Homo-oligomer: A and B are copies of this chain.
Amino acid sequence: MNKKPSLSLGFLEGLIGFRLRLAQIALFDDFERAMRPFDITPTRFGALSLIDANPGLSQMQLAKAIRLDRSTLVALLDHLEKRSLVQRRPSATDKRTNELRLTPEGRLLLGKLKRRVQEHEKRMFGKLPADERAQLARLLEAVSAMKTKQVIEI
């Protein structure tokens, strides 16, 4: 009748990277569920937010900011443009680039999404005391800032 032998994590037990991956999956799961009615993923939300905060930015700038390959961004923007949330406008000064802007519909939707995302963050982190939330944010930022100096060969 023992239904949960519950596997051993073995070596994974002590790895912060593994813990972070699990947290990421839980987070994505809740986000996805909350945004399902709008068909918005974390990546799409990030793109909308950054375009909103930096109107006129280029696809390369956006791609770097959300850590997405520029080729991946093409389909994502196609999608958002098809939904009339975003507009690609050829730059007058550099004909290689597009200037990205939210449409009025895009701004309207983003407003709703922001409220949902706040609720999502509250669900996922609201149980933690404020100082621990701040600590978590600080530590995560420190990890992101770590750059690989040098890679060991074979």
Contacts and interface: CB of A to CB of B under 8 A. Distances in A.
A38 to B, nearest CB: 9
A133 B142 CA distance: 11
Nearest to A37: B154
B11 A114 contact: yes
B16 A50 contact: no
Interface string A119-154: 111011101100011011101111110101101111
A9 B154 CA distance: 38
B23 A20 contact: yes
A120 to B, nearest CB: 7
A10 B140 contact: no
Contact of A137 (B16, B67, B137, B142): B16
Interface in A71-128: 114, 116-117, 119-121, 123-125, 127-128
A17 B27 contact: yes
Contacts of A141: 19, 23
A128 B118 CA distance: 29
Nearest to A46: B12
Given A12-B49, A54-B8, A135-B139, A27 B37 contact: no
Interface of A: 7-12, 15-27, 29-31, 33-34, 37, 42, 46, 49-50, 52-54, 57, 61, 65, 67, 114, 116-117, 119-121, 123-125, 127-128, 132-133, 135-137, 139-144, 146, 148-149, 151-154
